[in-house]
Amino acid sequence: MEGRVLIIGLGLIGGSLAMCIKEEHPKAELIGFDADVNQMDIAMMLGVIDRAAGSIEREATMADLIIIATPVQTTGSIIECLAGLQLKKEVIVTDTGSTKAYISKKATCLSEKGINFIGGHPMAGSHKSGVAAAKKILFENAFYLLTPETVVSRETVDRLKKWLSGTRAKFLDVSPEEHDFLTGVVSHFPHIIAASLVHQASRADEGNPLINRLAAGGFRDITRIASSNPRMWRDILLQNREVLISLLSDWQDEMGRVKELLVTNDRESIFEFFDSAKKFRDGLTVSDKGAIPSFYDLFVDVPDYPGVISEITGYLAVEDISITNIRIIETREDIYGVLVISFQTPDDRARAKECIGKNTDYEMSVAE
């Protein structure tokens, strides 16, 4: 496809989308804007965009596709700005925000002017941020939710999907309300639970410092999403508050039921509580990327001697296998000296396991 694409917000998501569009549609012109001039300079230096925009107002009037990849609150303000401009008749405006009902309401000012707005949410992310962390493969096999209003034609939706085809994502069309419920269940609510578990451990640590040491293993893994951007999650919770209030009420009922099982010493029901959860969890697909970024970890049991980490990373470097994170955990189910290496994709993890196995006799395992 040919035309001008304006990407507002050159962070991880905006930069990665620019790379995908640039590769799939080489005749398109990619223009980027970011409030942080440094991000625009980096995007130009890395070839993520063709040129930087001096202002949103000037470039938006000439664009065929406008992607708003900013925090949701900022997106609302940008939409209001776009509504006051003379945009092209066939332009498509889309966003990448984590909540959609709020944005859908904001975007009525565009639809009232006959401007096609299609809400979007690529369900992918990374441990890193900024345009320097952008990757063409970020969205591959991820779900990309679109929330087109009824006034938007199917041809327009298909045109947006064609623009975004380089993401290699799996597109799903849902309503803004359905989107917020789905992401509330599988993303927003788990972040609340992870943060609450950390708070509980923090309070317990005040009376017993061993909590901090023991939490370095599996507890750290199941709560790692609590390290997400607090400002972003504050906004997400407030924008999806009705869904989350309902989910929290259900959670309180569930915890009350578990408490009652313990009070009554109900062995069979306690077993069923864990057994039914195990069956549902084991039935979840492992090949798709979900609402929470996947962590493809490889656990390597390593001996305790100087240079063992550089030895392992050296083997991976020779095979040109990239890692996203690496750490040593002291305690993991009573096993000492476990090196945890995180990868961007399951293929990278599989290659790493083969590489390390070829060069060492270290025991390795993965968590699915």
Summarize pLDDT for 76-122 with one digit per residue, the tens. 999 999 999 999 999 999 999 999 999 999 999 999 999 999 999 99
Ranges of CATH 1.10.3660.10 domains, the chain = 179-282
CA distance 131 to 17: 10
What residue ranges of the chain have pLDDT lower than 50? 331-336
The CATH 3.40.50.720 portion of the chain extends over: 3-174
Q: What does the block give as tokens for 93?
A: 């405006």
Question: What string of H, E and C letters represents the secondary structure of 47-95?
Answer: CCCCEECCCHHHHHCCCCEEEECCCHHHHHHHHHHHHCCCCCCCCEEEE
Contact in structure between 60 and 6 (CB atoms under 8 Å): yes
Gyration radius from the chain CA atoms = 23
Superfamily of domain 179-282: 6-phosphogluconate dehydrogenase C-terminal like domain (1.10.3660.10)
What was the pLDDT predicted at 342?
Answer: 84
Buried b (16+ CB within 10 A) or exposed e, 134-143: bbbbbbbbbb
CATH topology of domain 3-174: Rossmann fold (3.40.50)
| CA–CA gap between residue 297 and residue 365 (Å, rounded) | 9
CB atoms within 10 A of CB 91: 21
10 Å CB burial of residue 348 (0-12, 13-18, 19+) is buried
Any idea what the Cα angle at residue 134 is, between residues 133 and 140, rounded to 5°?
125
Q: Where in the chain is the domain with CATH 3.30.70.260?
A: 296-366
**DSSP states of 177-219:** HHHHHHHIIIIIHHHHHHHHHHHHHHHHHTT-THHHHHTTTHH
DSSP state of 96: -
User: How far apart (Å, rounded) are the C-alpha atoms in residues 341 and 324?
Assistant: 8
- Taking a C-beta distance cutoff of 8 angstroms, is the pair 309, 319 a contact? no
Residue 26 DSSP code: T
CB 91 within 8 A of CB 114: no
The predicted structure's pLDDT at residue 331: 41
- Looking at residue 295, what DSSP letter applies? -
pLDDT at 195: 94
Residue 186: phi and psi, rounded to 5, are -100, -5
Tokens coding 108: 């009525």
Q: Which residues pair with 92 in a beta bridge?
A: 65, 116
**Structure tokens given for 209:** 């410092």
CATH topology classification for 296-366: Alpha-Beta Plaits (3.30.70)
Residue with tokens 């970024």: 293
